Amino acid sequence: MRRPGSAGWAGGALAVALPLAAGLILRLWMVHDLFQVNGDMLVYGSLARNLLLHGQFALTGGGGEMVSTLIRLPGYPLFLALCFRLFGIDNYFAAICVQVGLDLLSCLLLAGFVRRIVAPAHARCAALATLWLSCLCPFTASYTAFPLTETMSVFALALAMWAMARFAGRPRWSHGLIFTFAVTTAALLRPDGVLAAVAFAPAMLMAAQRRNGEGAIPAPRLLRMTAACALLALAPFAVWTARNWRIFHVFEPLAPRSANDPGETAIPGWERWVKTWCLDFVSTDEIYWNVPGSKLDLSELPSRAFDSTAQYQETAALAKAYEKNGEEISPRIDSGFARLAGERVATHPLRSTLWLPLGRVADMWLRPRVENLNIDLDWWVYAHHHTETEFSWAYAGLNALYLLLGIAGLCLRPRFWAALLAYMLLRSALLLTVAAPEARYTLECFPMLFAAGGIALCRMRAGATWQT
């Protein structure tokens, strides 16, 4: 005889298993087609290998020597080192498989978060909608195929959101410690991970303080929990800062924005000049990533890089001097770019300080997220490749759909909507300062879009019966 409730339990399990199975298939397909190890991935691998084999946070130099560095935070190298220890040195594929599992766990955590922030009558609907949206998102799924920080960052944010809702519902040490672990992990992966604590911690504490009746937490106890968790969160950064001071004699609690170690040649003039014209990912890929080290081809620069014939000639002279210098930017050449940048900013101050930064942020939010797919950079040129153009526009439409659903969900003002919006706004404000846009910089906002989008989809289904 079937036990009462067994059919409902089985139906609930199937409703969760289906999106997870679909998400697993999507990620395995992405891994099969996209998995590769190059560029920054090898940097993380070198750090992880030296941590594991020599106990040093260092890169391997050209002669095989170890060179201490602080250009990357230790979070992802520690993750890779753990995977190398468990599955073998340089076994990046095993790390990728772990990332697939963590990404699917992120989807479950986001569904659990949504289940706690909407009315009970709509909790199951909204949670399942969030689960489907997150499991079937190709943008986050594609990054599981690369040993980079994106998947781990999304997981840390999803865990922080889940713990935030749990702590607000019933303040416990376990929930506070999980939240602390999540936001600390986010900050140890990338410097901008600090924004998770900035956006979520105040909202969580205010929600816990507003609790009434059974389960309300006394203010002194909440204060003690906050202080203890803050100290635990700061402890790894104290160790990291002390290590950087001991080795490099610099105060660096995170990682340098320029990704240069102390003593390495900086090129601020070049960076400032690039910011006066760089607007989209094509310029990032063709120019910013290749200079210094490769030819500076003026034909690849957009027309907005020159305000006059004189500026074109000056830029050409700098490019020629750069080529004669072995494709390295000397201090003299860098000062030339700085002078050119200063002239351009003085001539068009709003363009450099407002319109181009806003354009770069728009490019990161709205561009088709095909940067890690086998698609040409000029995907919009239909005459060159019909299929790639059509696919890219479909990706742009899907990206816009996720964004619109997220906005619609936030407009319904579920619990913690302000914290989710604050994170996305803070991140967008930070991205106003970057010189070269990459769409992956907005990927960490997708956990918020998944949660808000799931609520919006449930609202559409519920119609007039919706309650917040």
And the tokens for 461?
A: 């289904």
Give the single-character DSSP code of 369: S
Q: Is residue 214 part of a domain?
A: yes
Express as a percent the part of the chain with pLDDT over 90.
79
For residue 88, the tally of other CB atoms under 10 A from its CB is 10
**258 has pLDDT over 90:** no
Could you tell me what percent of the chain has a pLDDT over 70? 95
**pLDDT higher than 60, residue 467:** yes
Q: Both 283 and 243 in a single domain?
A: no
Higher pLDDT, 12 or 292: 292
Q: Are residues 240 and 272 in the same domain?
A: no
Compute the average pLDDT of residues 7-14.
69
- Residue in 78, 13, 16 with CA at minimum distance from that of residue 50: 78
**346 pLDDT higher than 80:** yes
pLDDT at 1: 44
Hey, how many other C-beta atoms are within 10 angstroms of the C-beta on 374? Answer: 8
Does residue 40 sit in the same domain as residue 109?
yes
Residues 225 and 274 in one domain: no
Q: Both 299 and 155 in a single domain?
A: no
Whether residue 4 is predicted with pLDDT greater than 60 in this model: the reply is no
357 in a domain, yes or no? no
Q: What is the pLDDT of residue 433?
A: 94
- On the question of pLDDT at 213 being above 90, the answer is no
d(CA 110, CA 159) in angstroms, rounded, equals 8
Average pLDDT of the residues in 250-264? 90
pLDDT, average across residues 129-146: 97
For the chain, the average pLDDT equals 92
Question: If you search the block for the tokens 């040993």, which residue do you land on?
Answer: 147
Q: Is residue 383 part of a domain?
A: no
Preceding peptide of 74 cis, ω within 30°: no
Residues 287 and 182 in one domain: no
If asked whether residues 187 and 117 sit together in one domain, one would say yes
Same domain, 116 and 229: yes
Quote the pTM value.
Answer: 0.94
pLDDT of residue 302: 92
Find the mean pLDDT for residues 142-154.
Answer: 97
Number of folded domains that form the chain: 2
Kindly state whether residues 248 and 274 are assigned to the same domain: no
As a whole number, mean pLDDT of residues 157-174 equals 94
Whether residues 133 and 219 share a domain: the answer is: yes
Please report whether residue 156 resides in a domain.
yes
pLDDT tens, residue by residue, 294-331: 999 999 999 999 999 999 999 999 999 999 999 999 99
| CA–CA gap between residue 388 and residue 54 (Å, rounded) | 46
Please report which confidence band the pLDDT of residue 5 belongs to, taking 50, 70 and 90 as the band edges: low
Residue 13 lies in a domain: no
365, 442 Cβ separation under 8 angstroms:
yes
Tens-place pLDDT, residues 350-395:
999 999 999 999 999 999 999 988 888 777 777 677 888 899 999 9
| Residue 168 placed within a domain | yes
- Asked if 159 and 292 sit in the same domain, the reply is no
Bond prior to 292 in cis (omega within 30° of 0): yes
Give a yes or no: residue 440 inside a domain: yes
- Burial environment of residue 368 by CB neighbours within 10 A (0 to 12, 13 to 18, 19 or more): buried
Q: Which domain holds residue 280?
A: 268-347
pLDDT value of position 268: 93
Cβ atoms of 427 and 444 within 8 Å: the answer is yes
Answer with the one of 347, 373, 407 that is the final residue of a domain.
347
Task: Write out pLDDT tens, residues 175-201.
Answer: 999 999 999 999 999 999 999 999 999
Task: Give how far Cα 297 sits from Cα of 300, 322, 323, 327, 443, Å.
Answer: 6, 11, 10, 11, 31
pLDDT number for residue 426: 97
Domain identity same for 40 and 164: yes
pLDDT per residue as tens digits for the range 41-68: 999 999 999 999 999 999 988 778 899 9
Residue 123: inside a domain, yes or no?
yes
